[in-house]
Structure 1
Amino acid sequence: MSLAVSLQSRGAAGTIARTARVVSRFGATTSAMARRLDRYESLASAHGVRPTWPTTACVLERHPKLLRRYAERGVELALHGLVHGDHAALDHARQRATIARAMELFGRSGLRASGFRGPYLRYNDATLDVLRSLGLRYHSSQAVVFPLLSSDLDAAAASRYALALRLYSAVDARAVAVRPRLRDGLVDIPVAVPDDEILLDRIRVTEPALSAEWLHILELTYRRGDLFTIQLHPERVSELGQALEACLTSARVHHPAVHVACLDDLAAWWIRRAGFSLRVMPAASGRCRVSLVADPQATLLVRGLDVPAAPWYGRDSRCERRVFEADAARLPMVGVSRRSPPDLLRFVAEEGFATEVSDDRERFGAYVDCSDAAWSEAAVLDAIESGTGPLVRVWRWPDGARSALAVTGDIDALTLRDFVVRSWETRDWVSHEGRAG
């Protein structure tokens, strides 16, 4: 399957070229990769960052002592399948058997994984059902593509890039809110592209363009308050260590801050945040009452209300009070028309706004009216942003952070043997297109 997926996404020439590059990164023993893992972990820890390394269970089984050493240093090891196969090709029963077996191998190595990333960033509805049934907290397999700075790709590079986006079923970051989503108890954490594989092997950029591409995404996500999940496989840290260092350095100088966390911590935060309760009620004539039940890390933003608050970002201020009354000609919440789809209302609520279904747009500080089932998250957020106010909101990230950053890198081989046997291990996996369950 590894060979089949490579041929599908790269073509024969690209597969041959990639194989040559990969072979050069591995050795007969783990020593070459251990040096790369050491550099990766050292670079991250120097900035106080815990990376997440989704790891194929069969690789962990072959090298438990080495990988356990990094877990003991604080690296999060997540599930990356039993073997490095395309989970979009498997039905529910097969996925339950393989993922449960992967969890068993983690347990035998003294490790407990709370999350999952599909090899090739591929999954289907059955994958998500299995992860929920096995008690996992999150998955991080959905690619979200940000605009490239390198816009002058030649035809071959553009074709290689397009094949990758098709393989990943990548979503356009310009159309969606790039942040976690809680769906029936499972947190979906998006992954940013261009990732390391695209930058190095497909569009083939070098420094300083490598660092510039990721710094560009960091700034885009900061302006929008989004999440930047870096994907840097440890075997490529020699080529992209400078870009990672640049991002971590830049993230630390922003104010408001960038919240930097491993995937498990992000998922835990998102689940806690889902339990917060923000209520807005009319009070005396021309006044409103706002109450927030949340833990101390919650960030309450206010706009257009005369209450004690510190300037934060743009038009918003940060309020430390959890209960207050204020003068307000309109309620500081988002009204949603009755004809708007139910999933739009859920989206606005998960964005942290107090909401009410109503056709009286003059009653609210912001209003959304959409009859189109194919509504756009970006358009909804633009409509709210353009509202006259006032507004209150539980922001996405803890402790007043503006945006978030996670550093991740999949481990699917530590030796040349690990890499070579991948196709044999997935020889009976049947490939197909799409994400249908």
Structure 2
Amino acid sequence: MRNLLVLGAGTAGTMAANKLRRRLDDRDWTITVVDRDDEHHYQPGYLFIPFGTYDRDDVVRTRHHFVADGIRLVLGEIDRVEPEAGLVRLEDGRTLPYDYLVIATGTTPRPDQTPGMLGPEWRKSIFDFYTLDGAEALADALLELDHGRLVVHITEMPIKCPVAPLEFTFLADDWLSERGLRQNVELVFVTPLDGPFTRPIASARLGAMLEDRNIVVESDFMLERIDAENRTLVSYDEREIPFDLLVTVPVNMGADFVARSGLGDELNYVPVDKHTLLSTKYPNIFALGDASDIPASKAGSVAHFACEVFVENFLKHIDGLPMTVAFDGHANCFVESGDDRALLIDFNYETEPLPGKYPVPVVGPLSLLEETRANHLGKLAFRHVYWNVLLPGRPVPLPSHMSMAGKHVHTKEE
């Protein structure tokens, strides 16, 4: 009997375990999934909590509900991985042996990594929305906002769901406008990037949208500290940005046990081959989702598409065969833009977001790099798809590799 151990029962870990349970003979394999608690959070839903669209009941379910029969779910904090011994130690002293290990413990915001972020102003004038508690606290703060300077800020890349800060900014603009308060509130978007997004075409489109909404963009801002007493962001080059209400995205880091185990980089992400997701150091360890260092967006769509590739490659790998399917970094993300509209972007390692139709050329029904109500409805519908299709590991009629069908490539003459 061989043991597959999956660390993390989030998006990637749950999908991988459920898909492999269908493909691996239970007479030959045991599958065990480990996580710290029994709460599975639909993290894209955090975005809507500050604006009252969702609440806690919309984004939290029990993990047991989504782990398939025949999979053992172990609850406990992970202390470390001992790769040479082929086992994982939990903080309570339990040990779990493995023949193959999948690390899918994601990434988390770390406000403790930035001087001045935590302290007397945390959850008073300084908020985040990448945690459920933070999003709920921010909802209360927004109800008190009727004037002043609202700053939306990214501390450092990479972060999970890199479009979420933009979405929050657009939704805040819309939310304030609906309440007749927008003219009293200055909106500022602060980023360490040289523009609103990592890819040029999408960055230009999103930048124009910010400009149309009279949202100030402060780019190339590398945060050194927060002067909480004076409510000011201070960069390494001594630029200062004052705020009345700060919505920040702290430094994102992988799990601490990854560092203790000697498996991670400086941000605790596991180095892997970006096409096979196999550890660059150990031939029986994979990393999926946000836990890996692949140069793709840390987003649910990446976890989904990568998981499809991983399953096929894993089945070859355990039989000693070459892993012939290559993950291309495929990501697609809805970008809420307010007024019940959204954009959709679709890209991979090599190809940036382009205009066009998705998933069917010409027909769509979704439009790429265009604000439409259909895209907004697609964003809202994804929650149902997530709970009922993706997590259980059911087939999704979308190719894991990005297709150029339906996309319009600009030429120099255009």
- TM-score, L = length of structure 2: 0.24
Report the structure, 1 or 2, having the larger helix content. 1
Choose between structure 1 and 2 for higher RCO, CA contacts under 8 A separated by at least 6 residues: 1
- TM-score, L = length of structure 1: 0.23
